[in-house]
Amino acid sequence: MIKDLGIKLPTVGDKSNFCFCSGRGRLISEQRINSIIHQILEKHNAERPEIPLPRFSCHTLRHTYATRLCEAGVSIKAAQTLLGHADFQMTYNIYVGADDSFVAEEVQKINGLM
């Protein structure tokens, strides 16, 4: 769809198809993305104090993505590739952040084998 608009997306090394690009097809920095997220959160929290949202960064979203991959049963090796990690150990360490309900479900799987 983006290509249909004539926008040329940036390539960095062998990576392309970035999530956050400007209207001119340039990369947006992590700091700028975080600034935009924080502006949105501040506006929301000012307008809807009864439903406050906590501060988070784009890196938090990356961890959430890694956890959701784990919860979906995606293999560590596939997740490593999707996250761009050179070493599966890095990916595995992020998966340790899976929430308690997910861990409880995994324990139930083990219990079902006994």
| pLDDT for residue 47 | 97
- Where does residue 70 rank: exposed (0-12), middle (13-18), buried (19+ CB within 10 A)? buried
Q: Look over the chain and give the mean of its residue pLDDT values, rounded to a whole number.
A: 81
- Neighbour count for residue 69 (Cβ, 10 Å): 20
Q: What is the pLDDT of residues 69-114, one digit of tens each?
A: 888 888 888 888 888 888 888 887 776 555 666 667 777 778 777 6
What stretch of H or E contains 13? none
The residues that bridge with 21 in the sheet, in sequence order, are: 27
Is the pLDDT at 6 greater than 70, yes or no? no
Q: Is 27 helix (H, G, I), strand (E, B) or coil?
A: strand
- Neighbour count for residue 66 (Cβ, 10 Å): 24
